[in-house]
Structure 1
């Protein structure tokens, strides 16, 4: 979205035409792979503004995900259960975006899930801030998980995200993250071994290498 604004009118038209020719929406993130088992899902606040600047709002978002749309799962196969079609394996909520590592049986349910979550939180936070018609969320994107290495590197990336953005010096210091769930269930040694075996490094580049 932000690079698009820098383009000339001609460049914008060419880009939109190219996206349409590939079957993508003209501006929203495309979802080309819908038959994978696991995905990294990412949603960002509009223009990356920190609308989740306080812990209470980040917790509100997690409550929407875990309480309103599913029940907790006490098993060790995944961290939380969202619905019968979606299992969340890892999560992190930051001031201006969040990530979920999920197992999906029916990709089509995701769009409705995000519409409900973002619609509810937008209305609530706009009321709290006494503003009307403010756009809180931009959109959501997905990345299909390609391998076991990709999966565990993604898990480490999610847990390291608060450190990456300079919010804390240790992943364990960020409350709105699944890292402490993993710490309780699997232990610090498991997390350390996972980090050594699947380092984040320049995660996000050359995805197909995973």
Structure 2
């Protein structure tokens, strides 16, 4: 049975993408490469990144696709392949992955969630920005360097003490 992904043109999506080996830190160790690959894919297949956090072994992102476009699977495929191709080959590759010409860096599947409304969007943005604290990488969301929280603060959407103040920290 083949897994079928939900499709909706112009939709806003939340994603979780994981490395195959969850003990690796490839995503932050090679953050410049990941950023370069995402920029390249965005140039050829536009989308807006509303929020994103890159953790050592996984990432979360919220994308807004163009009105006439629903092909987020293509974008993730290009990002994963582009990142994998540019890494030195040091990992052990299983026979099943070799047959499919895969490096084995990424989990084959990923989580996607169609954002339903503004409340759902805000909950997922908050989840993304708080994720480094949840995993114990920092005490405050603003301390994690690989997060869109810095763009949200610069835009004035939240303040620097968001998630540690008694109020919501929203402007």
- Report if TM-score (shorter chain) is over 0.5: yes
- Residue 189 of structure 1 and its aligned partner are, at CA, apart by 3.4
Task: Give ranges in structure 2 of 5+ residues lacking alignment.
Answer: none
8 Å Cα contact 1:88-1:103 kept in structure 2: yes
- Identify if the C-alpha distance between structure 1 residues 149 and 187 changes in structure 2 by more than 3 Å, giving closer, same or farther: closer
Equivalent runs, 1:1-210 vs 2, <5 Å? 20=1, 25=3, 30-35=4-9, 37-52=11-26, 55-66=28-39, 68-70=40-42, 83-84=45-46, 86-105=47-66, 106-108=69-71, 110-127=72-89, 129=90, 134-138=103-107, 139-186=109-156, 188-189=158-159, 192=162, 196=168
Query: TM-score, normalising length from structure 1?
Result: 0.63
8 Å Cα contact 1:58-1:95 kept in structure 2: no
Partner SS state of residue 85, structure 2: helix
- Identify if the C-alpha distance between structure 1 residues 33 and 119 changes in structure 2 by more than 3 Å, giving closer, same or farther: closer
The number of residues matched between the two structures is 156
Partner SS state of residue 13, structure 2: strand
- Residue 125 of structure 1 and its aligned partner are, at CA, apart by 2.4
Higher helix share: 1
Query: TM-score, normalising length from structure 2?
Result: 0.76
- Residue 42 of structure 1 and its aligned partner are, at CA, apart by 1.6
- Residue 140 of structure 1 and its aligned partner are, at CA, apart by 2.5
Higher relative contact order (CA 8 A, sep 6+): 2
Q: Which runs of 4+ in 1 moved over 6 A?
A: none
Distance 2:29 2:50 in 1: 22
- Residue 183 of structure 1 and its aligned partner are, at CA, apart by 1.2
Task: Give ranges in structure 1 of 5+ residues lacking alignment.
Answer: 1-19, 72-81, 199-210
Structure number with larger C-alpha Rg: 1
